Amino acid sequence: MTDVAILWRRFDKPGHEFCTLARTETGTRLTGVANFSFGDVPCCAQYTIECDAGWRTLHCRISGYVGTTGITHDIRHEGNQWTLNGVEKPELAGCEDIDLGFSPATNLLPIRRLALKVGETGKVRAAWLRFPEITLEVLDQSYTRTAEDLYRYESGGGKFRRDLKVDERGMVLEYPDLWYAETHT
């Protein structure tokens, strides 16, 4: 894997996100900043996500602003236990991935971890960060690799469905109706 930098533009509302992906001694690190509107409120969210060598989320830190209100949150995943700001979240047992509700970056994690061949489907239980509420919930998802560069993503029991175009590393290039990669390395 080579290091990656990507810039997405939001389709459904004003916004951009810049993200980098880099190797670490023990796995990978995603870092990024998203600037977008939530309703009529401007938002800025910086994040760092640390993953192990199997692309499982270990730690996620988010900071920024929702309007003029500052936010800082620490999410940890150790063994089968998740915590949000030090508070245990037992309902998230069995989740392997963090899913940041404001970002296409975290789709990369299950795409890489599942390593699906064309025609295969993988089921995922993600710890979904609802934004701007900053709550963590279980979100059951599935990924079906329909082509070398295309994954069908489903959640909500199939109520939400998008065909995600990805690059050779699994980074989302097109998330229909939501995000489009303007440029990437």
pTM of the complete model:
0.95
Q: Sign of the CA dihedral 106, 112, 118, 124?
A: negative
- Say what the pLDDT of residue 29 is: 98
Residue 1 has pLDDT above 80, yes or no: no
> Residues 150-175: pLDDT tens digits?
999 999 888 999 999 999 999 999 99
Residue with tokens 């060598």: 53
- Say what the pLDDT of residue 27 is: 96
Contact 86, 68 (CB under 8 A): no
Coil, strand or helix at 69: strand
> Residues 115-153: pLDDT tens digits?
999 999 999 999 999 988 889 999 999 999 999 999 999
pLDDT above 70 covers a percentage of the chain that reads 99
| Among the listed residues 114, 135, 133, the one whose alpha carbon sits nearest the alpha carbon of residue 123 | 114
* pLDDT tier for residue 2 given thresholds of 50, 70 and 90: low
| Among the listed residues 60, 66, 70, the one whose alpha carbon sits nearest the alpha carbon of residue 36 | 66
Contact 42, 24 (CB under 8 A): no
- Say what the pLDDT of residue 94 is: 93
- Asked, as a colleague might, if the bond just before 110 is cis with ω within 30 of 0, I would say no
What is the number of alpha carbons within 13 Å of residue 77 lying toward its C-beta? 25
Rounded to an integer, what distance in angstroms lies between the CA atom of residue 96 and that of residue 92?
9
Length of the chain: 185
Residue 129, H or E segment? strand 121-130
**What is the pLDDT averaged over residues 47-74?**
97
> Residues 77-108: pLDDT tens digits?
999 999 999 999 999 999 999 999 999 999 99
